[in-house]
Amino acid sequence: MGVTIIDVAKAAGVSKSTVSLVVNGNTAIKPETRDKVLKAIDELRYVPNISARNLTTKKTNILGVVMNVENENYSSYEFDSETDIFSYDVSTGIPAGLAGSDYGILTERFCASGDKSRLPKLVLSNRVDGVFVMGGLFHDSFIQNLKKRKVACVVVGRHIPDVDSVSPDFTQAAYLATRYLIDTGHKKILFINCPCIFPSNKDRYTGITKASKECGYPVDSKWTIDTQHNTGEGGYNAFKSCWESGIRPDGIFAANDTIALGVMRYLHERKIRVPDDVSIIGYEDSILAGYAVPPLTTINVAKARMGEESARIMLDRIRNPRQRYVSLTIPPTLVERSTVIRRK
């Protein structure tokens, strides 16, 4: 017969109900008592009966990670290595934030465009106790529908009123990138933003404008463009149109690393040297940035930390549903590599 909760209680010198409270993550237990119980669980290799507990608590002990996709032609449970980079990198930090809990994770890719009342399968099937909503493309009504179903929700990548959220500081990131290009002597800077549907575009433009005004650098709308798609191909095509229209930048700030790599490909095809002829700086500091040729200078937004913090916020929300909503902004840092040169 396997180890039971009674065995753990005897080994720890506590009651069966105390062991149950520790296993269920109750924060009212004294730290020394909790440590004794956890030590006994570890030594006896006790595995809680999750199914039985779920019948009692009405909880699944599963959290959903919902990644947004831009169109209806998607597979719910397959990862797209180009468009899901942000969500994937954030999700790598979630397990650290869930450490010590019994929660597992399920991931679903979901198209939030079109019918705003639609919800992911993970939610409709009541398979999750909470949902991490990745990225900024989800409509506010989508979030409200989650709340109506009493599903704990943390939005990652955007701040929404009356919802727990963790987001990069888009304004400060754009400010850092723009100041860096100006301070290194660039006079003709092109800003390549995400598709216009992204709410973060406005915040980025605020940071660009702030840095430009501080340095007396003119902001011209024709030097700020949006891509059609948030991909390398989107960056390639957007910059190709600019170049063919006669725009000749000496520095470029791209809204993410994938867009930047698309631009670098076009420059390479035209035998335009990076950074000698054109400098470029990305955003996110994805794993792709360090493997670019040359390695891409970019803005790090601590995506794994965002995942870890969002997980902690999620656990707090599940344990204390009536607590005040948390809105956490993660500061960015500049990562200098080899795609920006100091100009005379």
170-301 is a CATH 3.40.50.2300 domain: yes
Strand, helix or coil at 255?
coil
**Within this chain, domains 62-168+303-330 and 170-301 share the same CATH topology:** yes
Strand, helix or coil at 34?
helix
The pLDDT value recorded for residue 61 is 86
What separation in angstroms does the CA of 32 have from each of 35, 80, 113, 183, 273? 5, 45, 50, 54, 62
User: Which of left, alpha, beta for 278 (phi over 0: left; psi -120 to 50: alpha)?
Assistant: beta
What separation in angstroms does the CA of 205 have from each of 170, 175, 191, 331? 9, 9, 9, 17
- Give the H/E segment covering residue 238: helix 232-244
The pLDDT value recorded for residue 119 is 83
How buried is residue 208: exposed, middle or buried, by Cβ count under 10 Å (0-12/13-18/19+)? buried
Give me the long-range contacts of 320-325 (CB less than 8 A, separation at least 24): 321/152, 325/162, 325/163, 325/164, 325/165
CATH of domain 62-168+303-330: 3.40.50.2300
Torsion 266-269-274-276 (CA) sign: negative
Angle between helix axes 5-12 and 31-44 (nearest 10 degrees) is 120
Integer-rounded Cα radius of gyration of the chain: 24
CATH of domain 5-48: 1.10.260.40
What separation in angstroms does the CA of 109 have from each of 64, 67, 112, 335? 10, 5, 10, 30
Q: Where are the domains of the chain?
A: 5-48, 62-168+303-330, 170-301
Q: Which residues contact 172 (CB under 8 A, 6 or more apart)?
A: 207, 331, 332
The pLDDT value recorded for residue 149 is 85
The pLDDT value recorded for residue 42 is 78
User: What string of DSSP letters covers 55-119?
Assistant: HHH----EEEEEEEESSS---TT---TTTTHHHHHHHTTHHHHTTTS--EEEEEEEE-SS-TT--
Which among 114, 4, 109 is positioned nearest to 52, based on CA atoms? 4
The pLDDT value recorded for residue 248 is 97
333-335 vs 298-300, strand pairing mode = antiparallel
The count of C-alpha atoms lying within 13 angstroms of the C-alpha of 81, restricted to the half-sphere facing its C-beta, is 2
pLDDT tens digits in sequence order for the chain, 344 residues long: 578 899 999 999 999 999 888 877 676 788 889 889 988 887 888 876 655 555 555 678 899 999 877 655 554 545 454 557 888 899 999 999 998 888 999 988 887 666 666 788 888 877 889 999 997 777 778 888 888 888 899 999 999 889 999 999 999 999 999 999 999 999 999 999 987 767 788 999 999 999 999 999 988 888 999 999 888 999 999 999 999 999 999 999 999 999 999 999 999 999 999 999 999 999 999 999 999 999 999 999 999 999 999 999 999 999 999 999 999 999 999 999 999 999 98
Percentages of the chain per state (helix, strand, coil), in multiples of 5: 40, 15, 40
pTM value is 0.80
The pLDDT value recorded for residue 291 is 95
